[in-house]
Amino acid sequence: MEEKLYVGVDLHKTQFTICIQSNGKVVADAEKYETNSNGYQAFISRLKALSSNISIAIESTGNSRYFKDLMEHSGFNVTVVNTLRFKVVNLSTKKTDKNDARTLAEFLSRDILPQSHLCSADSEALRRVLKSRSLMVQNAVALKNQAHAILLAYGTVTKAAQFQSKTGRRRILKTLPDDQAKIIEVLFDTLDSIEAQRKRLERRLRAITADDTHVGLLRTIPGVGIVNACTIRAYIDDIDRFQTYKHFSAYCGLVPWVQTSNETIHYGKITKRGPQELRTALVQCVVAMVRMESKTKDLGIIRQYHELKEQKSSGKAIIATARKLSRIIYVMLKEGKPFDSSKLNIGSNLV
């Protein structure tokens, strides 16, 4: 029977280092290959010359999906390691590419590597559009802040709402002296262009999710717009990978730290584990629900928000409500049913 080989790969942007082990012995160590077509082909040829029964382990990085797809297409099994749960490499006192590759190969041979979930190609494409839009929003905010600062330096106090629309911005320009207007106009022209591209990306989001059942279900929740619905959809990827709503809430990073010692139990701040984008989207949905209270005031989740706000603070109330919302979303997507306000008039405790 052909021997089984375990390959640890320390993958970087321009090169990767490998270690090959079999039956606890090192077959090859610290071999380096470039991350280009020639390097990949040389690596594949090297492995095929050794065995056809090969498993590979890599840490989750920006190019791990490409590497994984390429290796699996060549007939190798690939494990993508969850770096947050695999602390041995990260906390090693000798943090070198050689040692990282060797550690991955050793733990792979023992079958004790925590795997990282790679989202589907569709979810990844959706995430890329969302990240591009987020960049547009950040740039727009920076330009607005710069315009506010310049005008303040000239003695003109402006409000945030005055820069929100193209019409409002042009109205401001007409009130400025020529020397100030020429400076601000450049910022506003750039801002107009960025806003146009942002809207273009949002149209793209609508187009690629027009037939997405989960996005449609999420949009039935009051206050959930296309951007937050797409964000939640993209970072959940597959709701069936979460066994219970508690696992989903933990993935969102909305559950508190718990420390238990003897008979003492201490609850800390939320873990903030998991995608920040998903957690932010859930919080934004809650804020939107609170603001549109004319439509949501009779919901148990909103009543509980106000009760908790009086007891603690608005920040803690928002986080607790976001955790409750994650449970609602989990049930909705699991059952494939839209938001039903009649079932939420009496909610369970949020904390």
**pLDDT band with cut points at 50, 70 and 90 for residue 349:** very low
pLDDT of the residue at 116: 85
Question: pLDDT digit string (tens) for 256-310?
Answer: 877 666 666 666 788 888 899 999 999 999 999 999 988 888 888 999 999 999 9
pLDDT of the residue at 115: 87
Q: Is the pLDDT of residue 24 over 90?
A: no
Dihedral sign from CA coordinates of 286, 292, 298, 304 = positive
Question: pLDDT digit string (tens) for 198-233?
Answer: 999 999 999 999 999 999 999 999 999 999 999 999
**Burial of 282: CB neighbours in 10 Å, binned 0-12, 13-18, 19+:** buried
pLDDT of the residue at 348: 43
pLDDT of the residue at 293: 84
Q: For the chain, what is the mean pLDDT? A: 90
Closest CA to 248 of 332, 134, 337: 332
Radius of gyration over every alpha carbon of the chain, rounded to an integer in angstroms: 26
Instruction: Find out whether 250 and 271 touch, Cβ atoms under 8 Å.
Output: yes
Question: pLDDT digit string (tens) for 322-345?
Answer: 999 999 999 999 999 999 877 654
Long-range pairs for 211-214 at CB < 8 Å and ≥24 separation? 213/336, 214/239, 214/333
What CATH number does domain 5-109 carry, 3.40.50.2000, 3.30.420.140, 3.30.1050.10, 3.65.10.10?
3.30.420.140
Helix ranges restricted to H, the chain:
37-50, 64-73, 87-90, 97-109, 121-153, 166-174, 178-208, 213-218, 226-236, 245-251, 276-291, 293-296, 300-311, 314-335
pTM of the model: 0.84
pLDDT of the residue at 91: 64
Instruction: Find out whether 56 and 78 touch, Cβ atoms under 8 Å.
Output: yes
List residues bridging with 21 in a β-sheet: 6, 26
Closest CA to 242 of 255, 227, 230: 255
